[in-house]
Amino acid sequence: MATTTATTPFVMRLIGAMALDPITYEEVEADRSATGQALLVVVLSSVGAGIGARGLGSGSARSMVFISALSLLAWAAWALLTYQIGVNVMPEAQTRSDVGELMRTIGFSAAPGMLRIFGVVPGAATAAFAITAVWMLAAMVVAVRQALDYSSTVRALAVCGLGWALAVALAVGLGVVFGPTVS
């Protein structure tokens, strides 16, 4: 008798990812068909940043597009740095992962970033960006712990924190050099 497994609907995966549910991250890691969903989460999160940045004084369409693109680039840098650090620099004995598995889980860890869109609410931008940054870091730690089969959350936190710091430095540098002026 053949068995089938039901795939969790996309919205439920988003909720699970935002709730930091390890089972959701394990499911996404194993589901090769979730790669497109993970990419969609990252794009929506980046667009949320671009729109939400209006509340930070970046109201032009050019600024919104730039911030969305910068957010997407920063995520990609963070993801690739995290992969390299987690797999090659700080692996545990049982760490086995491929780029696809980690990109799917890390993609879903960007789900809280979609809430950055609430930065358009007057006076809420700083809080929206600060809260979602911490939330995304926590989600990334869970995603990395699950995808890299770490037994230590502290190791996952170190990998994500180091990758995040390097990605933020890159994003800030690019923003300073190529970004629009804020008046």
How far from the centroid of its chain's Cα atoms is residue 115's Cα?
12
Contact indicator for 100, 32 with CB cutoff of 8 Å: yes
Q: Give pTM, 2 decimals.
A: 0.85
112 versus 177: the higher-pLDDT residue is 112
Which of 32-41, 74-83, 149-158 shows the lowest per-residue confidence on average (mean pLDDT)? 74-83
* Measured distance CA(99)–CA(37) in Å, rounded: 16
Q: Which pLDDT score is estimated for 21? A: 97
